[in-house]
Amino acid sequence: MANNYLQALLQSDKYGTDKQIQLKRRVFSTFNTLLTNFGQSPMTEGKKLLDLGAADGSLGKVAQQDGVEASSLDVSDGINFETDRLPFEDQIFDVVTAVSLIEHLYSPGVMLSEIMRVLKPGGAFIAVTPNWRYCYKFFYDDPTHVHPYSQRSLAFLFSSAGFEPVTVVPWLVCKPSWMWTMPMAFQTARILPFRWSPNPLIPEFLKGRSTTLLALAEKPQD
């Protein structure tokens, strides 16, 4: 049933190619803002990115437009993220991303170990996943969701896997970076008064209500 659900979702208008490229351009920009805001180098020409749970690979395509060497990997490539070794050499990626992936895994330990292996020392792992505190009423409406996370549990999981430091902030797309560190950031993200809208009269920082977590987990330098 879960596989049928995923296939139906991927074939829906939400996953149209043009929409996904537009969305992932905003996601890529947000990831770079996150990296630079917390002391990491942005994804620019010559950097190497691995996007896990990549669906149609739109994020990798957007990154390649900026000269990033991007690789994409999804379950449709025949990999089981809970048990399989990633088909890459050690310490070759600057950044690994996983958008809406970890909540689909019963046990992410192998995947986190593999991410640590393929990241360069000082590299960054970026994850996006629902915030259980604010989405518990509808988290399991998606039958492929199996493991919820809170801000604390996600940070603990990544720290336990050897990442340090770990930063967890609200998933706010193309917003001022101060919105990640202001008091009550998660509560504010949840109550932003407007969904995304092209209306130019609505200030950008008031758009994009979010009940989702964004995590930056760094591989320690050797």
CATH of the domain at 131: 3.40.50.150
pTM comes to: 0.88
The reply to whether 203 falls in a domain is no
Q: What is the pLDDT of residues 155-192, one digit of tens each?
A: 999 999 999 999 999 999 888 899 899 998 888 888 76
Those residues whose C-beta lies under 8 Å from the C-beta of residue 187, and which sit 6 or more positions away, are none
Number of domains in the chain: 1
Collapsed DSSP state (helix, strand, coil) of residue 124: strand
Cβ burial, residue 112 (10 Å; 0-12/13-18/19+):
buried
Range of the domain at 128: 2-173+214-218
The reply to whether 67 falls in a domain is yes
Q: Which residues make beta-bridge pairs with 218?
A: 124
Q: Which amino acid appears at position 121 of this protein?
A: P
The reply to whether 101 falls in a domain is yes
Measured in whole angstroms, how far is the alpha carbon of residue 82 from the centre of its chain? Answer: 17
Q: What is the pLDDT of residues 22-79, one digit of tens each?
A: 999 999 999 999 999 999 999 999 999 999 999 999 999 999 999 999 999 999 999 9
